[in-house]
Structure 1
Amino acid sequence: MNIKELKDKITDYANIVGEQEGVEIVNVEIYPGGKGLTLRIFIDKEGGVTIKDCENFSRAIEAILDVEDPIKSSYTLEVSSPGIDRPLKNKKDFLRNIGRDVKITTKEKIADNTFFIGKIVDVGDDWVRIEIQETKIKGSKKKGKTELLFIPFNKIIKAQVYLG
């Protein structure tokens, strides 16, 4: 089994455990290392992840991995929260962060800019609407004016919570 197939299989197991434990699987990463593989699973939930959530998830996924044995070599399992500054990649990520400041880089100019810092106001099926202060638009000369801006997801290169 190659790494991609292994990642897909472990992601399936993680999603089952995540549903049981009330957490969302944000990402599964597998890295080869000197002493086998490192399996890193990032989880999240409404209100944030606690250490206890990570412990419970870790025990549950370990039990499945021990029984199913998809990893034939030794491995290290790491379970953690993706952190507040993780990239926002999909609609669910943006919905979870409504009301927070974000920084967004787009691949094409929108309102004469490709970099924005603003508060997420609303999220649609294929867009995010942010409220920006024009003073926070890179290169803007206007001061203090607030503007609502729709940004299509397919135009976003990078987005994350802005800790400013």
Structure 2
Amino acid sequence: MSKNSIESSVYKIMQDIIVSTAYEIVDVEYVKEGPFKYLKVYIDKPEGITVDDCSEISHILSKKLDELDFISEQYFLEVSSPGLERPFKTESDYMENINEKVEVKLYKPLDGKKVITGILLEKQENNIMIDSENQIITIELKDISKINRTIEDF
């Protein structure tokens, strides 16, 4: 089974697990780190994620994965919070961060920059608008390798 089909299958399983809860699936990754494979599931909920939340979902998901047994190789399951500076994956990630400071990493430079930091002003179907140093910049979504909210030090 390919990496993408494992990730999409686990995502669907997670949707069934959390259907009547306050949890949200942020991302699913199946990655190799050193000699080991990891199935990483990132969850969130409005009031934030606790260690107990991660443990509960991990237990339920692990049991379901053992039942279905579609991952043939050995792996470690990790269920965690995506963190405060998580990458935007969904439309709601963008919408919830309008007027917040974000960092945008690009596949190729735009005006000589591959990283742009500024205030997310707007999200449209195919692009975003950022106020970076009092300059409004429009960035195509297809050109973004990663975007996330940045937390400023006080």
Q: Deviations over 1:91-115 (max 9, x none)?
A: 3322232232112234353xx4534
Report whether the alignment pairs 1:81 with 2:116.
Answer: no
Give 3-state SS (helix, strand or coil) of 1:67's partner.
helix
Residue 105 (structure 1) aligns with? 105
Q: Deviations over 1:12-49 (max 9, x none)?
A: 21222233333222222224579974321111233432
Residue 140 (structure 2) aligns with? 152
TM-score (norm. length: structure 2): 0.73
TM-score (norm. length: structure 1): 0.70
Q: Give, in whole Å, the separation in 2 of the partners of 1:74 and 1:157.
A: 30
In the alignment, is the contact (CA less than 8 A) between 2:88 and 2:94 conserved in 1?
yes
Q: Deviations over 1:46-69 (max 9, x none)?
A: 343232332232232123223323
Structure 1 runs not aligned, ≥5 long: 135-145
Give 3-state SS (helix, strand or coil) of 1:29's partner.
strand
Give 3-state SS (helix, strand or coil) of 1:20's partner.
coil
Report whether the alignment pairs 1:161 with 2:149.
Answer: yes
Alignment of structure 1 residues 14-163 onto 2, 5 Å: 14-31=14-31, 37-72=37-72, 74-106=74-106, 107=108, 109=110, 112=111, 114=113, 115-132=115-132, 134=133, 146-163=134-151
In the alignment, is the contact (CA less than 8 A) between 2:22 and 2:46 conserved in 1?
no
Count of residues paired in the alignment: 150
After superposition, the Cα gap between the structure-2 partners of 1:52 and 1:125, relative to the gap in structure 1 and judged at 3 Å, is farther
Give 3-state SS (helix, strand or coil) of 1:105's partner.
strand
Aligned-residue RMSD, C-alpha: 3.0
Amino acid at match of 1:91: E
Q: Aligned-pair distance for 1:3?
A: 4.0
